[in-house]
Structure 1
Amino acid sequence: FPGADSTLGPQMKAIGEVMAIGRTFPEALQKGIRSLDIGVMGFGTKAFQSSPEALRVPTAQRLFQVASALQAGATMEEIIATTRFDPWFVRQLADIVAVRNAALAGAPRLTMLTAAEMLRLKRYGFSDAHLAILYGEDEMAVRAHRKALGVIPSYYRVDTCAAEFEAHTPYLYSTYEEDDEANTTDRKKVIILGGGPNRIGQGIEFAYCSVHACFALSQMGYETIMVNCNPETVSTDYDTADRLYFEPLTVEDVLNIIDREQPDGVLVQ
């Protein structure tokens, strides 16, 4: 709630959560940030107070404060000393900022981005909306330029057995690699968009609707495709729908799945 103390301690304060999957830590982190549905589209897209005094206090905003500090020129050593974060994580966060700065220095305008530069940004988790903010462009303009460069996501399956046994679970996430494991079909199909993270005013009832939509569509002969990023809801059980995309519920991520699956319809909430 507005005005509530956001200092983090031993007491649980959040009512919801998101989960993000990527091939690298930066890719997964940036997916997780935009999955939160709080108006922050990536690491460092909004300015936050980044003084050493602010960074010392563990709050819900500290990750974003670290981004602002790094962009303002703070060193890794200063961030580590102030936050007590593990150096490995600080290095990963600093790499995201370094890739951002290198892209803007090498390509001051969106149309100057090459396919290799765009691919590197996507592998570091930069969304189209994030790049639109950086370049002062419309998100659809970024999407059009990215697709013109041939930079489109592939989809990998989650190995639910950690390679101990061969697994064929229809549990997918996007990344920017050469292989693709989506194995789409020609069946008539419908995409169901889940409710995302639980929050005040949005909770279990949305998962209930999503699950029963899957069941009803299956009875009607449709292949069901669930898109959600909430790990604590039954709608993201791998056997609820015919196929599960564990992805952020953003315009870019949903349109990428629509492009890949070519469904007959999409159910939204």
Structure 2
Amino acid sequence: MTDYTSAKAVFESYLDNYDRENDKVRLKIVHTYGVVEQSSEIAERMGLSDEDVFLARIIALLHDIGRFEQLKRYDSFLPDTMDHAAYGVKVLFREGMIRRFLTEDRWDAVIETAIAKHSDFALEGIDDEKTLLHARIIRDADKLDNCRVKLEDPLETFMGAEAAEIGAAKITAKIRRDALGEKSILSSDRVTLMDYWISYLAYFYDLNFRESLDIAEENDYVHRLIHRISYTEPETADTMAELEYHLTEYVRHAKRTE
């Protein structure tokens, strides 16, 4: 099996096909390595084997490989422009690029499924224990690094608007109900800028492991994310105060996936 350093060198070579100076491409490169770090941290906190830690890192390295073509073609992260997970699976497993990263095919099925399902609304249809483990790890790691993205990167890059415009927007009734009801937000339900912002906060409800929730709590992600924006629309401000309480309690007390 190829070592991680060699796989990273192949990934860097792949990135040469894209404009590294583009803000969205740069964001996704940094995000990829952030997800590698988070996957490693989750796997190590769980006490997994060296093999599983390595596998978690490789899946993280490759999970968003389809994003770069999406940005090149459409300059957009929106799911209606391209299913980036499906495209990544196509390039890696239908066109054979995976052999540039790994010399043997022992874990191809695990890697393929984890990448294919990493951005699904809900994780379903996996019976194999090892595959389910890694599908859960990549989803958690992806969401945890997205917390960093939402804190550090310009709002204009991923929201298409400045903080003042977002904070002045209303929250639609369904999004409010779902967020306060501890539900993830379906992409197609989002209407306003605040709907989009809340959908990122609702990621916490989809974290699978107590270790992942611990990382979120240790980094104070709920408070820091909610207070990145000032909410000037009165109903929005009230909802965000209520949501901060709900999310804080959830992250603090939610149990580990068995």
Q: What TM-score, normalized by structure 1, do the two folds share? A: 0.28
Between Structure 1 and Structure 2, the one with more helix by share is 2
Q: What TM-score, normalized by structure 2, do the two folds share? A: 0.29
Between Structure 1 and Structure 2, the one with more strand by share is 1
